[in-house]
Amino acid sequence: MAGVSRYSPIERQNAVRRAFGGTETPAAVATELGIHATTLYRWASHVAQVAPEDEEPSTDSKLIEAVGGLLREHDYSDITVEDVASNGGVALRTAFHRFATKRDLFNATIDHVAGLLVDGMYARVAAVELPASPIERIRLFVHLSAELAYATPEAHVLFRDLGVPPADSTAPQWHDRLDATLAELITEAIAAGEIPPGIVPQEAARILGSALRGIHATVFEGADPTQALQLVDRLYLVLVTP
C-alpha cells in the first residue's frame, strides 16, 4: 500500500503508459519506481476513469476522438491537423500546442485505445476462473481479447489498414506485446505437453497474433462479429493439430 500512496494519480498513469505503451517493460519501470511489477498491473486496471457527465471533455480527449472519427472515413494521409482541430471543436493553435504533428496525434489515439483494451482485459481476466490447462488459457485469452475488441468501436484504429507508414505508428509495439503474451502462454502449453515441442513459441505467437488481427480487421470492415468469434475460438487448433 505504501508503494501506491507515494505516487500521484498522474504519476501512476504515466508509469502505466511507459510500461504498456512504449519501448520499456513493466519490470524495468517497476524497478525504477521501486515498486513490484504487479503494482503496475493493478494501476493499469484503474487509470482509465470515466469523466462525470457534467465534466467538459479535455482538449486532448476532443482531439483524440476526432482522430478516431476521421479515420473511419479517411486514410491517414488524407487527414490534416486542421481537419482534426475543426472536427474536435478545438482552435488550431491549441491543437498544435497539445500535439506538434499529425503523427503525435495519431499515436496518442493509438495509445489511448490500446490502454482501453489493456484495462478491459485485466478486468475480464480478473472476473473469470482461469482454466488449469495452458491450451485452454490460450483459447480463453484470444476469445476475451477478441470479444473486447469488437465491443470497443475505437479499436478500429488498431486493426484496420489506415494507410499509416509503419514508422509513423506505435500500433506495432502494442501488437508485439500481444504476441509476447501469446508466446508466454504457448511456452507453458509446450512445457505441459499440450503443444508439440517442435513449435517455436515466438514464431507461433506471431502467426497466431497476425491471424487474430486479420480477423479483427474484417470485423471493423463490416464482417459479422459472431462469425468472427467462432473463427477466433478455433485458432488454437493450429497449435495442437499435427
**Same domain, yes or no: 134 and 225:** yes
Residue that has been written with the C-alpha cell 498513469 in this structure:
13
- Dist CA 45 CA 195 (whole Å): 31
pLDDT in tens, 92-102: 999 998 888 99
Determine the average pLDDT of the residues in 205-229: 95
| DSSP tally for the chain: helices H, then strands E | 14, 0
Give residue 113's pLDDT band: very low, low, confident or very high (50, 70, 90): very high
How many of the other CB atoms lie within 10 Å of CB of 42? 14
52-70 pLDDT, tens digit each: 444 456 888 899 999 999 9
Q: For residues 115 and 216, state if they share a domain.
A: yes
116, 152 Cβ separation under 8 angstroms: yes
Domain membership of residue 164 as a residue range: 106-240
Q: Where residue 24 falls among pLDDT bands split at 50, 70, 90?
A: low
Task: Tell me if 152 is assigned to some domain.
Answer: yes
111 and 221 part of one domain = yes
Q: Are residues 26 and 119 in the same domain?
A: no
The angle at the Cα of 154, spanning 106 to 75, to the nearest 5 degrees, equals 50
Residues 216 and 123 in one domain: yes
Task: State how far the Cα of 179 lies from the Cα of 181, in Å rounded to an integer.
Answer: 5
- Is 174 domain-assigned? yes
Whether the per-residue pLDDT at 41 is higher than 80: the answer is no
Same domain, 131 and 231: yes
DSSP character string of 21-33: HSSS-HHHHHHHH
If asked whether residues 42 and 142 sit together in one domain, one would say: no
In a domain, 179, yes or no: yes
Residue 45 sits at the vertex; the CA angle it makes with 41 and 46, to the nearest 5 degrees, is 120
Contacts of 87-90 with C-beta under 8 Å, sequence gap 24+, read 88/62, 88/63, 89/62, 90/59, 90/62, 90/63, 90/66
185 domain residue, yes or no: yes
In a shared domain, residues 35 and 114: no
- Classify residue 99: in a domain, yes or no: no
Same domain, 135 and 226: yes
- Using pLDDT thresholds of 50, 70 and 90, give the confidence band for residue 125: confident
With CA atoms as reference, report the closest residue to 26 among 34, 12, 16: 16
pLDDT over 70 (residue 239) = yes
Whole-model pTM: value is 0.74
Residue 101 C-alpha cell reads as 504533428
Report the alpha-carbon distance of residue 79 to residue 86 in Å, rounded. Answer: 11
For 138-172, the pLDDT digits (tens) are: 999 999 999 999 999 999 999 999 998 888 899 99
pLDDT confidence bin for 1, thresholds 50/70/90:
very low
Long-range Cβ pairs for the range 130-136 (8 Å, 24+): 133/192, 133/194, 134/185, 134/188, 134/189, 134/191, 134/192, 134/194, 135/189, 135/192, 135/194, 135/195, 135/236, 135/239, 135/240
Closest listed residue to residue 88, CA positions, set 67, 73, 111, 109? 67
Distance CA 65, CA 88 (A): 7
Number of domains the chain contains: 2
135 and 205 inside one domain: yes
Q: Domain with 170 in it: what CATH number?
A: 1.10.357.10
For residues 110 and 43, membership in a common domain is answered with no
User: Percent of the chain beyond pLDDT 90?
Assistant: 60
Q: How far apart are CA 126 and CA 149, in angstroms?
A: 17
Q: What is the pLDDT of residue 168?
A: 85
Whether 213 is in a domain gets the answer yes
Instruction: Report yes or no on 88 lying in a domain.
Output: no
Q: What pLDDT is stored for residue 119 in this prediction?
A: 86
Whether residue 72 is contained in a domain is answered as: no
